Amino acid sequence: MKMAKPILDVQDIYTYFYTESGVVEALDGVSFDVNQGEPVGIVGESGCGKTVTAKSTLRILDKNGKTVSGKIIYKGIDLLELPDLQMRKIRGKEIAMIFQDPMTSLNPIFKIDDQMTEVIALHRDCSKKEALEYAIEALEQVGIPDPATRINDYPHQFSGGQRQRVFIARALALQPSLLIADEPTTALDVTIQAQILELIKEMQRKHGLAMMLITHNLGVVAETTKRVHIFYGGRVVESGPTEDIFIDPKHPYTRALFDSIPSLEKDKHRLATIPGLVPRLINPPKGCRFHPRCKFATEICMRERPPDVLIDKQKGRRVQCHHFEELDLHVDESTIKERSQIIEEA
């Protein structure tokens, strides 16, 4: 395996939100990277900081939020240092984002035409007429039937799946180098979800895009990504190749998360659970943020933040846990089978 070069290198960022009830420590020293042309997964439960990470990268945080320290190196440039004007050029042209909810990401009062050609003309520095051609071509690529006509329609005239396709078309027509897809299929039905995922994978391969795929669906991660970063409570608790993370997790949270997916088990009616709740990020737990729910927690876990240990440089394998060396969380073959059995039998 040749050493890939990161296109995005996020280094130790802290993003806070200032609210009436206190400071929300949404990102608490987050570091991870995405290599050129590589599909990377960002995984974790609701509220762990996935969307905030994407928004910090593009500098589109809500007004009450701020990235207070750290570096976000994109193609060698620290985005956090970039003047607003240049940052605007990065958005769309260099880094495109597909949002969680396709309805909120398209403006309902403008035709698709207006929402695509202008940005394309701007970012690709071409005439309106050429931009229209690129737009129609992109719509065709994502499978919108009769794109030359449909481009004159408004967002509400498309179904949820089609809106997400339109949005992907818009993102891709700008020919970005990095695509951030924030739960691109969560709001969609299973059969439509499969269509969109297939489309994203195909586009990613065809255009050699680097991709940051944000999701909490572990099946989607397994099928789409090469490497994964696991988030918990505003921190990256584990990183590594997708296969290693699924089969040989090093962090107790990763293992517990994967064990709570329903599957066919020996005792059919009992699922492994993680006790307690997803942590609040105003006054979060001290030390390791997972300690109130971790069955391996000891005194040091409550007191000290676990260091970020690089256990395999070649693979980019990292973990933040005081006890990872003593724990054996390896998943045996039968468990892996059970997890995905649902299809095997079909």
Partner 1 sequence: MVSTFEKYEAIDMFSEWNPKTDPIINLINLKKWFPISEQSILFSRVVAQIKAVDGVDLFLNKGETLGLVGESGCGKSTTARVAVKLEEPTEGAVYFKGIDIFQPMTREEELAIKRQLQMVFQDPYSSLNPRRMVLDLIREPFDIHFPDMTYEEKESRVLEILAKVGLEDYHALRYPHEFSGGQRQRIGIARALAIHPEVVLLDEPVSALDVSVQAQILNLLHDLQVEFNLTYMFIAHDLSVIKHVSDRVAVMYLGKIMEMSPTGELFRKTAHPYSVSLLSAIPRPDPRIKKDRIILEGDVPSPINPPSGCPFHPRCYKAQEICSKVTPNLEELEAGHFVACHFPEI
Ligand X SMILES: Nc1ncnc2c1ncn2[C@@H]1O[C@H](COP(=O)(O)OP(=O)(O)OP(=O)(O)O)[C@@H](O)[C@H]1O
Which residue, 42 or 321, is less far from ligand SF4 as judged by CB?
321
Quote the least distance from Cβ 319 to ligand SF4, whole Å.
9
Exactly one of 39, 52, 321, 339 binds ligand SF4 (CB under 6 A); that residue is 321
- Indicate which of partner 1, ligand SF4, ligand X, none lies near residue 288 (CB less than 5 to 8 Å, by partner kind): ligand SF4
193 contacts ligand X (rule: CB under 6 A): no
Beta bridge partners of 41: 213, 228
Whether the Cβ atoms of residue 219 and residue 298 lie closer than 8 Å to each other: no
Exactly one of 31, 51, 162, 225 binds Mg ion (CB under 5 A); that residue is 51
291 contacts ligand SF4 (rule: CB under 6 A): yes
Q: How many CB atoms lie within 10 A of CB 37?
A: 18
Exactly one of 2, 63, 266, 270 binds partner 1 (CB under 8 A); that residue is 270
Helix (H) or strand (E) holding 85: helix 84-89
Residues in the chain: 346
Name, in order, each residue with C-beta under 8 angstroms of 120's C-beta and a sequence gap of 6 or more: 126, 131, 134, 135, 173, 174
Among positions 42-101, residues that touch ligand X (CB under 6 A) are: 44, 46-52, 62, 64-65
Measuring CA to CA, how many Å separate 337 from each of 182, 254, 260, 328, 332? 28, 18, 15, 19, 9
Angle at 136 between CA 133 and CA 138, to 5 degrees: 105
Q: Which stretch binds partner 1 (CB under 8 A): 5-13, 96-104, 274-282, 295-303?
A: 274-282
295 contacts partner 1 (rule: CB under 8 A): no
239 contacts ligand X (rule: CB under 6 A): no
Strands 77-78 and 210-215: unpaired
Q: Which stretch binds ligand X (CB under 6 A): 4-12, 41-49, 158-166, 293-301?
A: 41-49
273 contacts partner 1 (rule: CB under 8 A): yes
Amino acid at 201: K
What are the φ/ψ torsions at residue 17 (nearest 5 degrees)?
A: -115, 135
- Indicate which of Mg ion, ligand SF4, partner 1, none lies near residue 63 (CB less than 5 to 8 Å, by partner kind): none
- For every residue of 163-206, DSSP letters joined together read HHHHHHHHHHHT--SEEEEESTTTTS-HHHHHHHHHHHHHHHHH
Rounded CA-CA distance 45/217 in Å is 10
Which residue, 44 or 161, is less far from ligand X as judged by CB?
44
Among positions 49-78, residues that touch partner 1 (CB under 8 A) are: none
Which residue, 51 or 242, is less far from Mg ion as judged by CB?
51
Rounded CA-CA distance 311/20 in Å is 41
236 contacts ligand SF4 (rule: CB under 6 A): no
Quote the least distance from Cβ 254 to Mg ion, whole Å.
19
Q: In the complex, which residues of this chain contact Mg ion (CB under 5 A)? A: 50-51
- Footprint of partner 1 (CB under 8 A): 45-46, 159, 161-162, 189-195, 197-198, 216-224, 242-243, 246, 256-258, 260-264, 268-275, 277-278, 336, 339-340, 342-343, 345-346
Residues lying near ligand X in the complex (CB under 6 A): 17, 19, 24, 26, 44, 46-52, 62, 64-65, 216, 281
